[in-house]
Amino acid sequence: MPSPAGSLETLAAVTSPPLRQLIQAANRDSDNFTAEILLRQLGKEGPVAEDAADRGRHRVAAFLQTRGLAIAEWFLADGSGLSRRNEISPRALTQLLDAEKQNPDFRNSLAIAGRSGTLQTRLPSLNLQGKTGTMNGVATLAGYLQTPAGETVFSIFLNHSPTPNAQNRAVVDEVALLMARLTTDLPTCGRSPSPPPPPKTEFLPPATPTPAPAPTNLPAVP
């Protein structure tokens, strides 16, 4: 016979890490499970009648609309990114990255080339923050590249490749290196050259940020 509710006692409890830490796991380390759970967490409450994953997709869609992304340029099938039905154009992803470039929570969640996460052993010569993506036949890299000419927001996609994953990543890295050289060598059109980029570090917003869409505010805990 079950015990009365008043006599129940907690035998064990697990406290979730702060949401910012979970987002770092999803982005910096490409933890697919965490990314899927975060989508479902978004869908725990909402006005639609579907399950948590569907409600989460609705909320993501609403957010992307506030950032001006055309609905024809993306499709979200899951939170982990493992479904091959997930789609987004490089233009739309670059637009989203540009909209969030003043968001410290997002910037701090990205891997740093040559230092952390999925970029720890890649592109050590570049001052770059980014998110990688790898599946059979697919390699992507998107984020922020610092050069003497300023910050470049970029998205590199390689799809339907018949070569091994390591070779696909090498091609993407070559594109990033070429982009850094081209960006550095762009003419300044009579303007004084920009100061050299700061050393690789966690992102800190500028003291007087330029106008941008309102950043996404994250609670301290999920």
pLDDT at position 190: 39
Note whether residue 169 is domain-resident.
yes
Question: For residues 210 and 172, which has the higher predicted lDDT (pLDDT)?
Answer: 172
Could you tell me if 77 and 139 lie in one domain? no
Could you tell me if 77 and 133 lie in one domain? no
Could you tell me if 40 and 68 lie in one domain? yes
Distance, C-alpha 182 to centroid of its chain: 24
Note whether residue 221 is domain-resident.
no
Residue of 68, 63, 65, 13 whose CA lies nearest to 38: 63
Phi-psi domain of 163 (left: phi exceeds 0; alpha: psi -120 through 50; beta: other): beta
Cβ proximity of 133 and 158 under 8 Å: no
In angstroms, rounded to a whole number, what is the distance separating the alpha carbons of residues 90 and 158? 10
pLDDT digits (tens, 9 = 90+) for 162-204: 999 999 999 999 999 999 998 666 554 334 444 445 555 444 4
pLDDT at position 29: 96
- Domain with 97 in it: what CATH number? 3.40.710.10
In angstroms, rounded to a whole number, what is the distance separating the alpha carbons of residues 210 and 130? 21
Tokens standing for residue 35: 């990314």
- pLDDT(215) > 90: no
pLDDT at position 170: 97
Domain extent, residue 199, equals 90-203
Q: List beta partners, residue 151.
A: 146
pLDDT digits (tens, 9 = 90+) for 137-161: 999 999 999 998 899 999 999 999 9
Could you tell me if 143 and 188 lie in one domain? yes
Could you tell me if 22 and 58 lie in one domain? yes
Could you tell me if 81 and 27 lie in one domain? yes
Give the rounded percent of residues in the chain with a pLDDT score beyond 70. Answer: 77
Supply the pTM of this predicted model. 0.77
Which positions ≥6 away from 214 have C-beta within 8 Å? none
- pLDDT(122) > 90: yes
Q: In the β-sheet with 111-112, what is the strand arrangement from edge to edge?
A: 111-112, 127-135, 138-147, 150-158
Domain tally, the chain: 2
pLDDT at position 192: 43
Could you tell me if 98 and 199 lie in one domain? yes
The string of DSSP codes covering 106-155 is HHTTSEETTTSGGGTTS-TTSEEEEEEEEETTEEEEEEEEEETTEEEEEE
The CA radius of gyration of the chain, in Å to the nearest whole number, is 20
pLDDT digits (tens, 9 = 90+) for 47-104: 555 689 999 999 999 999 999 999 999 999 999 999 999 999 999 999 999 999 999 9
Could you tell me if 134 and 107 lie in one domain? yes
pLDDT at position 219: 52
Average pLDDT over residues 8-25: 92
Could you tell me if 172 and 113 lie in one domain? yes
pLDDT at position 207: 40
The residue among 33, 56, 88 that closes a domain is 88
Could you tell me if 145 and 197 lie in one domain? yes
